[in-house]
Amino acid sequence: MALDEYRPQEGDEAYEGPREFRQVGTRPDRPDGFDKVTGRARFGADMYAPGMLHAAILRSPHAHARIVRLDTSKAEALEGVKAVVTRADFSKNVIFAPGTVGEFWNILENIMAGEKALYDGHAVAAVAATTPLIARDALKLIEVEYEILPHVTDVDEAMKPGAPVIREGAADRSVPEGMHPNVVRYHESGHGDVEAGFAEADLVIEDHFTTEATHQGYIEPHACLGTLGADGKGELWCCTQGHWYVQKVCAALLDLETANLRVTASEIGGGFGGKTTVFIEPVALALSRKAGRPVKLVMSRAEVFRATGPTASASMDIRIGMKKDGTITAAQGTFRLQGGAFPGAPMEFTAMCAFACYDLRHVRQVGYDVMTNRPKQAAYRAPGSPMAAFAVESVIDELCNRLGLDPIEVRLKNAAREGTKASYGPTYPRIGLVETLEAARAHPHYAAPLKPGQGRGISCGFWFNYGGETSVSLALSEDGSAQVMVGTPDIGGSRASMALMAAEVLGIPYENIRVTVADTGSLGYNEISHGSRVTYASGLATIKAARDAVRKLRQRAADKWGIDVEAVDWVDGCAVPSGPNAGDFDPLPLAEITKTMGATGGPISGHFEATPEGAGVSFATHIVDAEVDRETGKTRVVRYTVVQDAGKAIHPTYVEGQFQGGAAQGIGWALNEEYIYGEDGRLQNPGFLDYRIPVASDLPMIDTVIVEVPNPGHPFGVRGVGETSICPPLAAIANAVSNAAGVRLRDLPMRPSRILDELEKQRDDA
């Protein structure tokens, strides 16, 4: 996905002011709950088709190698094998371009290697056979001769003179002269004069931080079922965060007309950004076209780790100056992110989010997008922001400690507010950072006593949020129930939020609304479910589509009563005469109007299509207590509180769920999770045993506080809530560790061996 799709937004849809809600803000059961607790829900791998074949992908075992010879003839000859594809079976019309401009070329090159394998796990060929076992056997018969090339997997190494070049000509024009060809994009922003600012400080701290690549870790591996005929028409079922995007990419990579490929999104077993792009769908379709049969392709967990997007890893330098009273005088950051063997590491977001929480006169940030021999990074929950928050909030904590200041008071003193010029340029409208800090300060957690060996950490976090292209249709049934068609897959209960908003506007019970995730043939374009956009943008479109239907309902009542539509109000699900006609007629309920709609002008439905641009930025403050075992180096999170601004919580339980889920992922990133590469450039831990995400026994309950500072760009005040919650945990835990054990961890993850090293240094120093 193009990075500029995440660009920060300015508002155009106005908040309509505080009001009494009847349904919004309640906590009904989700409409798809029954299917999901009984095993009926169909996820990516749960679809079967008559005559279906099973596919498997051959992947490079080398980090960097030229493909000298590729012979698939023995595999093709195996009994049961129906098709084999290589790069030659994909479009020749997808054009290379530097930077992220050539995104489709980058996707094509990523899903099927061209002349070179660029990372361990890079796809080289694929097979479709009558059973999964035959497909796997056939892979072993494909002969590939590789010429192994020198590789590089570390971001700092990849920038050094003499580092192996991943691809000449991949850099775009933003990159300053003289940089290594692996540096492919450059960003610079800020305002003021940082050197003057540092001169005013009583204390300046400058430090270096690193974070490793982590994987989104959705439990459902990528899976799809594709059918494509020689006539260029096809059907695709897949787990994705955005099926219109899949449609567009597959059409481009296979030379199809977009409308001739109908894509249906399955239920999705987690995404967190990792399912915003395309990995296997064009491969399944290419195999299907060749074999003339439906093809199912399901990734193994090892493939998910080796070949789908982890987040970028980062190397960062931060410098912040503070006065004795806690005022930040200047801030500066350099962010080097590696995003694998392709351009696109979200370094501009890292740079732009880094200091977004603070009102700064002097601020400057620089970002580098660097290529290495690793899988192509993909978005992961607030892409780019958590690593920045880790580095910046760690330095702020260190400044507070050394100056003897309270971490919440210092953040409040410097907090961005309405009217603040953001570090990344725009001036903030109404925002809720101060409110989250005040709520954190007032929370009993902040004053609770700590046990020996425990420390408390605080951190703030920021994410832009996003709107994007959105279409929603709402159709009324004769009995007065309503079907809402949305185009954004339901990753975490969004059907419930949409139904609540539609019910609120229509004035009918929540239970009478069915929300369906429509396929690409049933609705206009919908952008991917990303950027925390679903409740904001699909929600806004649902409200507007429902209002469109209400306008038509009022018209029918006006026609029936023989009065002007302007003299008909909509109150609690009924048309009511108003103004001079008030009281002239009995209220006319929605179901009464729909009962006769066929005879009074035809079916009634509502539509809305737009690209809403008023997504409200979102802030959070987290409090964490951690305990460090000085003998083993193990860190345990013993208490956790998330405070975040939701604007308006439509379904508070699912908002809490987003807060808790983001915090848990952040805890994993901080303490355990990392991509480990060997000397040979191969990924050492492509499984859940060695890539350890938090399990139930690792975590405490995660307390939540929902702050509601309405987003000026949404009628009900909604802000996205999905992403910000992963930004603060990294630093909050590092700060807690520092307060618990007196050691400052500047490299993630804070695994026991690193903590033990720091404790040893501490003993040596003493």
Cβ at position 220, least distance to ligand FES in Å? 8
Q: For tokens 């080289």, what's the residue? A: 124
Q: Nearest distance from residue 323's CB to other proteins, in Å? A: 38
Q: CB under 8 A: which stretch of 162-170, 396-404, 531-539, 648-656 binds other proteins?
A: 648-656
As measured in angstroms, the least distance from the Cβ of 570 to ligand FES is: 37
Q: Please give, one letter per residue, the 3-state secondary structure of 538-591.
A: HHHHHHHHHHHHHHHHHHHHHHHHCCCHHHEEEECCEEEECHHHCCCCCCEEHH
Question: Is residue 270 part of the contact set for ligand FES (CB under 6 A)?
Answer: yes
The SS3 of residue 376 is coil
Partner in contact with 637, chosen from other proteins, ligand FES, none, beta carbon below 5 to 8 Å by kind: none
Contact mark string toward ligand FES, 180..219, x via CB under 6 A? ---------------------------------------x
| Identity of the residue, 14 or 219, whose beta carbon is nearer to ligand FES in the bound complex | 219
The residue among 307, 163, 157 whose CA lies nearest residue 221 is 307
Nearest residue to ligand FES by CB is 219
- The encoded tokens of residue 315 equal 């190397």
Which parts of 245-304 interact with other proteins (CB under 8 A)?
267-272, 298, 300-301
One-letter identity of residue 725: S
**Residue closer to ligand FES, measured from CB, 358 or 669:** 669
Nearest to 451 by CA among 684, 256, 581, 625: 625
Report if residue 661 touches other proteins, rule: CB under 8 A.
yes
Residue 306 or 362: which CB sits closer to other proteins? 306
CB of 276 to ligand FES, least distance (A): 17
Pairing of strands 454-463, 116-117: unpaired
Q: Which is nearer to ligand FES, 271 or 606 (CB)?
A: 271
Toward ligand FES, which CB reaches closer, 270 or 509? Answer: 270
How far apart are the C-alpha atoms of 296 and 300, rounded to whole Å?
13
Q: Report the residue number, 36 or 160, with the smaller CB distance to other proteins.
A: 36
Binding flag, residue 46, other proteins (CB under 8 A): yes
| Both structure tokens of 116 | 């070179």
Contact characters 682-721, other proteins, x per CB under 8 A: -----xxx---xxxxx-x-xx-------------------
Q: Does 30 bind other proteins (CB under 8 A)?
A: yes
Helix (H, G, I), strand (E, B) or coil at 744: coil
Find the angle CA(475)-CA(243)-CA(349) to the nearest 5 degrees: 115
539 binds, among other proteins, ligand FES, none (CB under 5 to 8 A by kind): none
Distance CA 128, CA 140 (A): 13
Give whichever of 46 and 172 is closer to other proteins, judged by the CB atom: 46
Least CB distance to ligand FES at residue 412 (A):
35
Unique residue bearing structure tokens 């003998």: 631
Report how far residue 526's alpha carbon sits from residue 406's, in angstroms, rounded to the nearest whole number: 45
Q: Does residue 132 touch ligand FES according to CB under 6 A?
A: no
Q: State both tokens at 307.
A: 């070949």
Of 41 and 70, the one with the shorter C-beta distance to other proteins is 41
Report d(CA 346, CA 336) in Å as an integer.
Answer: 10
Q: What are phi and psi of 260, to 5 degrees?
A: -80, -5
Report, in Å, the least distance between residue 641 CB and ligand FES. Answer: 22
Please count the CA atoms within 13 angstroms of the CA of 632 that sit on its side-chain side. Answer: 6
Distance between CA atoms of 370 and 367, rounded to whole angstroms? 10
Question: Among 2, 133, 448, 676, which residue interacts with other proteins (rule: CB under 8 A)?
Answer: 133
The site partner of 410 among ligand FES, other proteins, none (C-beta below 5 to 8 Å per kind) is: none
Which partner, ligand FES, other proteins, none, binds residue 462 by CB below 5 to 8 Å per kind?
none
Give 304-367 as a 3 state SS string.
HHHHCCECCEEEEEEEEEECCCCCEEEEEEEEEEECCCCCCCCHHHHHHHHCCCECCCCEEEEE
Asked if 760 touches other proteins (CB under 8 A), the answer is no
Kindly state the number of chain residues that form the binding site for ligand FES, as judged by CB under 6 A.
Answer: 2
Q: Which is nearer to ligand FES, 270 or 587 (CB)?
A: 270
Structure tokens given for 29: 């059961």
Q: Which is nearer to other proteins, 531 or 661 (CB)?
A: 661
CB 512 within 8 A of CB 480: yes
By C-beta, is 199 or 219 nearer to other proteins?
219
Which residues ranging from 460 to 519 are in contact with other proteins (CB under 8 A)?
A: 491-493
Nearest distance, CB of residue 524 and other proteins, angstroms: 25
Least spacing, CB of residue 6 vs other proteins, in Å: 22
**Residue 18 Cβ vs other proteins, minimum distance, rounded to whole Å:** 26
Q: How far apart are CA 285 and CA 296, in angstroms?
A: 9
Distance CA 760, CA 748 (A): 18
Residue whose pair of structure tokens reads 């019910």 in the numeric block: 503
- Which of ligand FES, other proteins, none binds 207 (CB below 5-8 Å, type-dependent)? none
19-39: string of b/e by CB count within 10 Å (b at 16+)?
eeeebbbbebebbbeeeeeee
Is residue 687 part of the contact set for ligand FES (CB under 6 A)? no
Which one of residues 7, 21, 43, 744 is an interface residue with other proteins (CB under 8 A)? 43
688 vs 300: CA distance, rounded Å:
12
Which residue lies nearer to other proteins by CB, 175 or 265?
265
**From residue 244, how far is each of 18, 172, 544 by CA, in Å?**
35, 28, 21
Q: At what angle do helices 347-354 and 385-403 cross, to 10 degrees?
A: 30
Verify binding: residue 447, other proteins, rule CB under 8 A.
no
Per the CB < 8 A criterion, the answer to whether 202 and 400 are in contact is no
In the complex, minimum distance from the CB of residue 270 to ligand FES, in angstroms, rounded to a whole number: 5
CB of residue 583 to other proteins, shortest distance in Å = 43
Instruction: State the binding partner of 260 from other proteins, ligand FES, none, CB within 5 to 8 A by kind.
Output: none
Spatial contact of 407 and 397, defined as CB atoms under 8 Å apart: yes
With CB under 8 A as the contact rule, the residue among 251, 546, 664, 721 that binds other proteins is 664
Interacting residue ranges for other proteins, rule: CB under 8 A: 27, 29-30, 32-34, 36-43, 45-46, 48, 131-133, 216-221, 267-272, 298, 300-301, 491-493, 653-654, 656-658, 660-661, 663-665, 687-689, 693-697, 699, 701-702
Q: Which residues bind ligand FES (CB under 6 A)?
A: 219, 270
